[in-house]
Structure 1
């Protein structure tokens, strides 16, 4: 079994199973050796949806719940809160909570997209009290924000762009690497991260390989 080294991408990896490919419920067509996350992104929550209850009753979402149990789906998401998105924040919070509770139900981690809604996210975490890991993907915040997330038990995933000091302070057991929408090879992202953290490249690879195994495969 191939353990993915890239926990979040929107592109098909050159080597099947090398990355966790993010899909919308409507576009999820798994390949035999691929790994996936499936979620309802805050950018695509329409204003016509009255509430998260509407999602539950919608045929698409009933199908979505079934998809999350697929053996090639390793995580729920990306779910999230985004104050720049069209959907009202209250609706985004309902849909986020719905997905977060589903992650608990299907026993899989939650991958999170977050823009300008830190306080709201922390309140939801306190309300839901999840057992499964919550992972902030594409983290670009400063070290102080990274420390706050770490205090609240989050994992942080770094892509192509980030604050170097934030990357340095993340404990090895809370760290992931991703390409997201970047076309930069994931191997180069590992090389840069290893240099910034002053860690041997193979040691970083092994650390994240172990993290992926523990968080995404120990269910």
Structure 2
């Protein structure tokens, strides 16, 4: 595609191989028509969506073994969409969303590279509600808690779109404070179970990364 460079990478998730197109590096930038600027994406942030981040791989690993039977799933800030593609291969209904204008074509291309139909996608827009998407059993994301404003957006998405009994799974690489997000979900009656996880092979114990699993079971609370 003109304006930026890409490369293909292969990753193994749950014993299965996935081929992904990613940006060649974080410095790639192609916003001649100003779409990113209108969506409040700075030039420094533009290339971040198109990387295969360790957190994204850990989220995909978690989703390859997560209990998904009968669940409707939303991936927030999906980037290249590896976790959504893993879920699609498992045969579950998943919707991916992101604010970046190129997230949708990258996601569709990566699904095709792995022999899958396009993942249903919804572009996030600053201040726009997602009322047309309905409600979900499970929300997943990675690398979303470094920015307080993005964490607030996700908490509001959960508030508006979570079913009475729902789950939220986030991989946090430990570069931010998750306490504020946990407080926001606590107000929505979600309980948190946190598991430390290694972000890379050289990561020493205690591991800085966290798998944050929030759950709410309103049916149990009502009995």
Q: What TM-score, normalized to structure 2?
A: 0.36
Bigger relative contact order, structure 1 or 2 (CA pairs below 8 A, ≥6 apart): 1
Q: What TM-score, normalized to structure 1?
A: 0.37
- More helix, by proportion: 1
- More strand, by proportion: 2
